[in-house]
Amino acid sequence: MSERIKPRRLSPGDTVGITAPASWGDRGQMVAAASCLERLGLRVKIGDTLSERYGYLSGTDEQRAGELNAMFADPEIQAIICARGGYGTGRIADRLDYEVIRANPKIFWGYSDITFLHAAIGKLTGLVTFHGPMMIDLTHDTNPLTVQNYETLLRPAVLSYTEEISPLQTVVEGEATGPLVGGNISLLVSTLGTPYELDTKGKLLFMEDIDEEPYRLDRMLNQLRLAGKFADAAGILLCDFNNCVPNTRKESLTLEQIIQDHVVSAGKPTLSGFKIGHCSPNIAVPVGIEATMSTYEKSLVCTEPGVEA
């Protein structure tokens, strides 16, 4: 992994680029959501991919990768926020210009399918990125904590997640310190065996997912276990598992049983209950920043902000 690089903080008047590196969505909805950034005093530049459709993708691989490369290279853009996830970022990972990204460190923000890009950019450039809510998440009734995430880009703050945000449950007792890595489980699994494979050695691994039946989570967690990702980790954070319930297979193991089989067996300090992922609120996490988790304090505390002050 490359030496860690932090992007600089934003200032009022800075420009944020909005791009769609995965699936397409309603452009009008995304443009309306961007007003949240404008209310913070930021300018917004909407990418062309928000108007493109290529099957379930927001444009061809060349278009989506090209726009992301261009936004990193553009000196007038100080941050890049993804419009939505869906599917498709793994298809463009080998088309990104990582030298350009390393030479132009900027805030890069998203979650869900964007997990693949967090893994790839972090591994090949060392840039700290942000696993956080996207334009698709910003509506008139969005939880205030979700919206407040964006304020940390202008006023750097150290992430301190305690039970004031949500109840946390001890799965395996202990404390651990290391850089934060992770994201959506299905995307983490899809990095295995590629040049962008997630490295968890000595790190705090956070995981979330949505709409995956228990047997599918069983398969994916088993693959991560067999790949040594839990054994290598310093600690494990279990985040939101939205609607991960039996559907086609009514007789099912519970999520708790699956976690016991694949995660607890690694014996690493493990906490669950974090509102990170496909949930409300959706708390942003600086990927690559060192943090300490404690099952005794029921907390996750970063050592520093994710942006340069």
> Would you please indicate which residues are annotated as catalytic (active-site) residues?
112, 208, 278
Q: Residue 191: CB partners within 8 Å, gap ≥ 6?
A: 90, 116, 119, 120, 197, 198
Q: For residue 6, what are the contacts with CB-CB under 8 A and spacing of at least 6?
A: 105, 128, 306, 307, 308
DSSP state of 1: -
Residue 280 half-sphere exposure toward CB, CA atoms < 13 A: 9
Q: Closest by alpha carbon to 182, among 263, 258, 88, 286?
A: 286
Torsion from C-alpha of 113, 188, 130, 231, nearest 10 degrees: 160
Please give the order of strands across the beta sheet that includes 169-172.
160-161, 299-302, 290-294, 175-184, 204-210, 235-242, 270-272, 169-172
3-class SS of residue 106: coil
Comparing C-alpha atoms, which of 119, 117, 151, 112 is closest to residue 133?
Answer: 112
Percent of the chain that is helix, strand, coil (3-state, to 5): 35, 25, 45
